[in-house]
A and B are shown apart, each in its own frame.
Chain A
Amino acid sequence: MGRTGADVTLDRERIVRLLKRLPRQDAAGQMRTASALAWIGIQARRPDSAVRGRLSSAARGRVDAAHFMATLKALPALPMPARCEVAMFLGDLAGGVAVTDLVRLMASPDAGARLIAVDALGKIGGLRAVAAIEAAVGDVNETVRAEAVRALGQLAASEFSRDSDAPGMRAMEDLFLDVSAGDPSEYVRQVADEALAAIREASARQPQAPTERVPASVLSVSA
């Protein structure tokens, strides 16, 4: 057991038990288990932000990567609602190990599934996740595009609030400016404007004196 950033007890044994059980169940059982996992993830979120990673580095998993493997392997075969439910859980508790499968979910023809995948990748962060989210900025679905822009904005704000000299600030600004100027949806353009303002504000807030880099506020629990 350990404490999360949200000050909620994380029941590692239960998570491991559920992860092991999920691939072996029937569809109804998988949905129940997936929801139980998703609920653990929701409870573990920090109150102010669900984002755990940064642009340049993926969040560390809150459970050892090895425990996710069986579930990740089973993920493509799960019915879509259970798959999305697990994706939520991965976003809240997994690290870089989940990125490949979440990126795969982004290829779904279901816009809802793509949105859940972008949301989860936006919580984990890291270069591979960011590349996939950047691709989603061009999604055909307006809500998915908006979520992609919002997720990038949060990851970038997380990055630049700690280090305004971190690489990528300019690239992110350019991306948001492009979206703000060119997206066909006024709503997505607004989200891009807000993301731009947020990273500039985060960058400006950064303390003058260099500080020691602080790791993301996640708690890794070894098996």
Chain B
Amino acid sequence: MNPLDVSVDTPLQKLWALRRLSEQPFDRQEREILQQLHRQGGEVVQRFIQRFGFNRITLAVHRWHERFRKSLSPEAPQETVLCAFTSVVDRLVDQDELKALVRWAASELDLTPGALLEGAGQRAESGTNSRNGDLTAEVFDLIDLIAAVIYFFESPPGLKPIVRDRTLRDQLDVFLASRPPGRVRRVLGGAAAVAADVLAELEVRDVALFTLYHSATQAMDHRQNVRRMVLGDAEAGLTFEAAQTPGVYRVAGETCEHPTSLSTVFSYDAGFALDPFRAFLTDRVIFRHAPRGPEPPPWREIEVHPAEGVPLGWTLPRACDEWPWLPGFVRWWVEGERLHLAFAGEGWLRRVADRYRYVILSGIGPGTFDVSDTADPLQRLIAAEVAAQLRVLAGAGATLHLEVSGSIGRQQRIAPLAEALGGVVRSLGLNDAELIQMTDMADFEVPPGTEGSEMYRRYGRALALAERLSLERLYVHGNDADLILRRDGSPGAMRDEVAADLFAKGVVVLSVLQRSGPAWQERARRLSPVLLWHGFEALISLASDLAAGRHPDLGGAYQRQLEVTLDAGYALAPQAGGYAVAVVPVMWPSLPYSVHPGGAGDICSSVSLVYAGI
């Protein structure tokens, strides 16, 4: 009987069913791993085989398989978690629609598709948009849009450019509306919204979402048991509503619906072509849009209120139905013809910290704080207010975790982020591509001495970032293995991290499958095996290089260190105050192209944080 033919009501039952589906006979997977490691494994793996033999890999595969299976039945932590600040509705576009978009855009521009692609290709090669800005950050017309896709075909990973032009935004809407049913799907997105939804489904004790806007479109995609925290006026304090209830505001005695945050996601498979351009990797490009409300909006001016002090006026370069978005705990109201956005003060934040042990943050990054070169007082105000809010939350006892996402430019600097986060944000999550971006920032220097395998260099960057940001925990998720650094991590803490991460990866697979639409069970039946050779390559590489780095004589201490890392998945810090590291091979099936993995990293990061504990 197929595991999915039985009742699978709870997330844990679903996980077990998925595991059974994706678990081919152990012998088959073991053989595949051994053969691929011998044939394709890097230099470190070949040296490992020469020295320790295939039997040592066989042992590691047995032990990790056992650990993986044991990780699937944890009890839901009795924790309180608030996820803030991002929520969005993702419009997922099938890859074949990219070809339709090119034809449609060419017709709109009175060009042939070939001429359009040629022009877009030139723009992609220059890396600049039609306004001589960064093509990977902003797009203004249809050629920019297609140029950005081509750019990320050839220079992955795909980032998240913002659609800055009203005409382009409307053209995109018209195109998407013209597509046959099923070609464009709508799912909940945004790190905070997705993390809150998944944690609530796992029955973590108290999970809430805070986001600036919460339209009916966003609300309808939430599960039943997620709550949304609302910052009322100073006397009312914190109030909560079901996340399925749309947010409303009042203006001139009337009740109005919140604006909607949307994004458009073009996913494609490796090798997919818009001739002559071909995607190098399976990936996606996300085009972000400003939140949109009714037209005309019920306000003409914007005023931003710091927690204390004089408000600032804000003139948005925007289309007339677009609303501003601010990071941080911000409440807002419309009065007269003015939209007021007010950063929450200490009283609110202390209440948040009293109620929630974990606050998982998203929507803030290096760009939020790197304002020394700008004369814009509003940007300075935002940076100062967000930093102050984080300090209050941390000072009042909340454990802050920041999930990094979005574009990180080489011209940005790490120093302002380090200053804002240092001693405040205890945990940070990002993917391996974002780790490279962050450690390539203008003022970041990765210390020498981390040559070796790709995995060891990744570890070196992670270590440098954790130290630079004074983090207690850094979580780097990848497609081959995850790295988790814990300052002074004890063996127990590191074992918990490994178990939580194995579980989190399973939750990711389940979650993105469920979000892929009603046919998710059919897709689940076609899952690949769980034990993947490149995960073990990453594990062996890091374990070997780490042991050799600490014990260059390759003697007994080297071997003991290597064996512990290989079998248990962690290495303790070499000295007090240093970072222990866990390395967890990815042991879940890779996802088929048709399953949009958006939010996978955010889910993994938040689930592992709450289940491992810090």
Contacts and interface: CB of A to CB of B under 8 A. Distances in A.
A196 interface: no
A81 B25 contact: no
Given A42-B35, A143-B63, A48 B54 contact: no
Nearest to B49: A35
B69 interface: yes
A10 interface: no
SS class, residues of chain B in contact with chain A = helix
A93 to B, nearest CB: 14
A51 B50 CA distance: 26
A50 B61 CA distance: 15
A84 B59 CA distance: 10
A85 B62 contact: no
A119 interface: yes
Contacts of B66: 142-143, 146, 187
B318 interface: no
A43 B58 CA distance: 14
A42 B53 CA distance: 12
Interface string A38-52: 110011010111110
Interface string A186-223: 11001000000000000000000000000000000000
A85 B51 CA distance: 11
A48 B53 contact: no
Interface string A69-110: 000000000000110110110000000000000000000000
A81 B35 contact: no
Contacts of A88: 53-55, 58
B166 interface: no
Contacts of B62: 115, 119, 143, 147
Contacts of B51: 31
Interface in A15-37: 31-32, 34-35
Nearest to A38: B54
Contact of A190 (B26, B50, B69): B69
Given A119-B58, A150-B26, A85 B53 contact: yes
**Interface SS, A side:** helix
A116 interface: yes
Nearest to A186: B70
B525 interface: no
Contact of B69 (A34, A119, A187): A187
B55 A87 contact: yes
B75 to A, nearest CB: 13
B70 A43 contact: no
A177 B62 CA distance: 23
Interface string A135-162: 0000000110011001000100000000
A20 B55 CA distance: 21
Interface in B1-52: 25-28, 30-31, 34-35, 38, 49-52
Nearest to B35: A42
B55 A85 contact: yes
B31 A35 contact: no
B55 A42 contact: no
Nearest to B63: A143
Given A42-B35, A115-B62, A187-B69, A49 B55 contact: no
B31 A47 contact: yes
A114 to B, nearest CB: 11
A31 B47 CA distance: 12
B56 interface: yes
Contacts of A187: 66, 69-70
Given A42-B38, A88-B53, 11 more contacts: A31-B53, A32-B50, A38-B53, A39-B38, A45-B31, A47-B31, A48-B28, A81-B52, A147-B62, A150-B26, A154-B27
14 contacts: A31-B50, A35-B53, A42-B54, A48-B25, A49-B28, A81-B55, A85-B54, A87-B55, A88-B55, A88-B58, A115-B62, A116-B55, A119-B58, A154-B27
